[in-house]
Amino acid sequence: MAILLLTFACPVDVWAQEAVPAAIERAGPVSPEQRAELYRQLAAHAEVLRAQSAVVKTVAKLIGPTVVHIEADVTTQSQYGRGRQVEEAGSGVIIEMAGKYYVLTNRHVIRGATTEGIKINLANGRRIHPVKVWEDPDTDIAVMSLVEQGLVAAPLGDSGKLEIGDFVLAVGSPFGLSHSVTYGIISAKGRRDLQLGDSSVRFQDFLQTDAAINPGNSGGPLVDLQGKVIGINTAIASNSGGNEGIGFAIPIDMYMVIARQLIAEGKVSRAFLGVNLDSKFGPAMATELGLPCPVGARITGITKGAPAEATDLQIGDVILEFNNIPIEDDAHLVNLVGLTKIGTSVPLVVYRDRKAFRITVAVGDRSEFNPPR
């Protein structure tokens, strides 16, 4: 092992004299006057942290009664074809719409269970069952209606106003530990093309957070510092199966578009533009087309008879905006179209021959071109 000899610009005796007080302070012995001053400083600094902590504690008290622990008895098929009863567990949050109560959760928490096989454990210890369940496999969203009255409901926030760095709390039942609260920030927005286990969630626009999310948190709320639900916790990225600081939640704006359709119509109707998109559109192609960076969605094909065919859209065009929203990539466009009301006339900004221009297209019904699963 090499030993490095350190040299100093100042004489050793001077350096030693300056270092001695610091060394004594690090070791602990200080005068009573110094200790009193340190305690005074500590009290002033702690006051700031107490004020911040009070916000978190208040949010936790407000959101706690609205969060439920869910147990679902599910029958699965073994490799030999025999049915096997297993119990899935997760979380949910109670909301109120038009005087009725509903529980928001993830589809994978209750998938395959009957209403009688779904146990909803309230914060006060009561156990109830839903009277009706709606599911959307394409977004991993599930909504359950309740007949009970006098429940505590969570207010909904606006996930569209979230910014990276905003503080959030995740509430749920990780590993069956009901009403656990973790704290973190929004790490990223618009996470798409995630491989979520064996499921195939087609429409993704996840919020990413470093608030600890573990198995059992699925379906629980992600809330802001106003105590409003801004997301539904859904998945984690992990090599160990536990929290590694990368969790994902469905934005509440997106969630409620689906939830309201499920409650009102019993199904989700999705809009359709009718274009095939280039998933490999990148910097090289963007430069070739004259774009400063690979933004937008490049068209590689147009479906016969689809709304896009009735417009001026052409193969090779790049859609830069959809309904006044800048398009990040092909998955972003697919997601926005899928959440648009059928028949809506939507403005587009299209890039062609190094120029941008506007057109309008009335989106059609996806089920007419691509039957739902």
pLDDT recorded at residue 243: 60
Q: How many residues does the chain have?
A: 373
321 and 348 Cβ atoms separated by less than 8 Å: yes
3-class secondary structure, 16? helix
List beta partners, residue 183: 169
**Sole residue written with tokens 């004489």:** 11
Q: What residues are labeled active site?
A: 108, 140, 218
pLDDT recorded at residue 35: 85
CA 159, 204, 358, 341: dihedral to nearest 10 degrees? -80
Report the predicted TM-score, pTM, of the whole model to 2 decimal places: 0.81
What is the full per-residue pLDDT of the chain (373 aa) written as tens digits?
343 333 334 444 444 445 445 544 555 567 888 889 889 999 999 998 888 889 999 999 999 999 999 999 987 655 565 556 667 889 999 999 999 999 999 999 999 899 999 999 999 999 999 999 999 999 999 999 999 999 999 999 999 999 999 999 999 887 778 788 999 999 999 888 777 665 678 888 899 999 988 888 899 999 999 999 999 998 876 655 666 778 899 999 999 999 999 999 999 999 999 999 998 998 999 999 999 888 999 999 999 999 999 998 999 999 999 999 999 999 999 999 998 999 999 999 999 999 999 999 999 998 887 655 4
Report all structural domains of the chain as residue ranges with CATH numbers, in order of start.
41-77+84-267 (2.40.10.120), 271-368 (2.30.42.10)
3-class secondary structure, 260? helix
